[in-house]
Structure 1
Amino acid sequence: MLKVGLTGNIACGKSFIGKLFSLYGVRIIDSDMIAREVVLPNSPTLNKIVEFFGREILLPDGSLNRAQLRAMVFADKNKLAKLNEIIHPAIHQRTLELCNQCAQGQPLDPNYINFCRQQEALKSQNSNQFSDVASDEGKIALCEPLDPKYVITPEQRPPYIILDIPLLFENHLEHMVDTILVVDAAIETQIFRIINRDHCTKEVAQNIIDKQLSRDYKLNHADDIIQTDILSIDEKRQHVLNLHIKYLASSQDF
């Protein structure tokens, strides 16, 4: 089973590209979703975090107070290292579990599927008008695939899957995938999207971008690239279809 790594810097339109692949029945294992799933209330990972950081990082309902934890770890590099020490193995283990389910032709864990749906519903409420996902044209594009004959049915053993890992290069996870697709946009586009999404200043947006691995590095280490800011939605649909056909062909070697 071929594993495609989907990555890219912030505000490059990666979510929309992932959704276009999903229209073809491609299974996507999302590391951001897993990072949230493994710290659900009463989970072993959350219990370890509480044991180290204290119960003040919990909200009244027992869920993780992300804002509080973020403030603590970014003020102390040692605490950030400890958090990564706790959470990264849990994310890695859960990712391997889901990959193995796909490789064996089993359905993905319903708990993971339901959690993703809940998170997507929350995210859709907060989508801004400048995103492809929220635009009228984008919503239409996500109704059906460009060419239905290439849809992978749920009964099929997946020929390939996508691992959506925003920090794939930063966390040196290239070994987990067979090929890498980078979703890219110009820095000016990223800044515009961040400002409109987060309602922050240009300086804050630039600071967020500066803390990420450089755009050039990711482009130079990509096997495939989709530059979202120079393509129309129709062109993105066609590009995704072309890559889907390519990955289907490549998967025959795995």
Structure 2
Amino acid sequence: MVKVGLTGGIGAGKSEVSRLFASYGAVVVDSDRIAREVVEPGTPGLAAVVAEFGEDVLTPEGALDRPRLGSVVFADPGRLAALNAIVHPLVRARSAELEAAAAPDAVVVHDVPLLVENGLQSLYDLVVVIDASEETRLGRLVRLRGMKPEEARARMAAQATREQRLAVADFVIDNDGPLEALAPQVERVWKRLAERAAE
């Protein structure tokens, strides 16, 4: 088995790269998706978030109101740290379960947005960084996710710098260009990862 940490700044295109890796046969462990699962209604994770942040972060239906919680934590590093202290251990435990279920010769790709910010690179055999310029990422966040430019810039500023991410990369996939330029790069990296897993 080869354990791969996949990361990149918000708007860099991790979801697309994860999808391509999965299409080649990778076991993808998506931290963002798990982070949503561990705070679904009825989970201990959601109960802990409500205990920390109050009922105001719930929708009328009792689910987590992500935009409201986001407006609280992204404006205050202390509150963000409090949220991370609840969610990150739950995500790590679930990720470990999924990894343990993978075949011995699998390529397990952990999609971890905050890999560099949380100093997690040593947990993986290899780190793949999706790289795109700030201008490209900002454009995608505004165009594809409907964010206001200042909101997108705040999210980007809360993450590691491009240089910090590139410093931990074993492989860099450039996603500054069109989508069709992405697939050949991902395929090249996949071949290397699959060879490593087969060793």
- Structure exhibiting the larger radius of gyration computed from Cα positions: 1
What is the distance in 1 between the residues matched to 2:188 and 2:88?
Answer: 33
| Whole-angstrom distance in 2 between the partners of 1:80 and 1:229 | 29
Q: Which residue of 2 aligns with 1:196?
A: 143
Equivalent position SS for 2:39: coil
Q: Does structure 1 retain, via aligned residues, the 8 Å contact 2:142–2:148? A: yes
DSSP-derived class of the 2:17 partner:
helix
For residues 11-30 of structure 1, the aligned pairs below 5 Å read: 11-30=11-30
Per-residue CA shift, 1:165-194, capped at 9, x if unaligned? Answer: 011010111122110110111222112212
Q: For each residue in 1:185-240, what CA deviation from the matched residue of structure 2 results, as whole angstroms up to 9, or x when unmatched?
A: 1222112212212445544433432332111121122110111124651x422222
Paired with 2:176 and 2:51, the residues of 1 have a C-alpha distance of 44
Alignment of 1:1-254 (within 5 A): 1-102=1-102, 105=103, 157-230=104-177, 233=180, 235-253=181-199
User: In 2, Cα distance between the equivalents of 1:228 and 1:2?
Assistant: 24
> Which runs of 5 or more residues in structure 1 are unaligned?
106-156
More deviation in 60-69 or 182-191? 60-69
Secondary structure of the structure 2 residue equivalent to 1:6: strand
Give the letter aligned to residue 2 of structure 2: L
State which drifts further: 161-170 or 11-20: 11-20
The TM-score with structure 2 as length reference comes to 0.89
8 Å Cα contact 2:105/2:198 also seen in 1: no
Q: Distance in 1 between matches of 2:75 and 2:165?
A: 28
- Cα pair 1:27 1:158 within 8 Å, conserved: no
Distance 1:185 1:59, change over 3 A: same
* Cα distance in 1 for residues equivalent to 2:189 and 2:69: 39
Q: CA RMSD in A?
A: 2.0
Percentage identity across paired residues of the two chains: 37
**Secondary structure of the corresponding residue to residue 23 of structure 1:** helix
Partner of 1:119: none
**How high is the TM-score relative to the length of structure 1?**
0.71
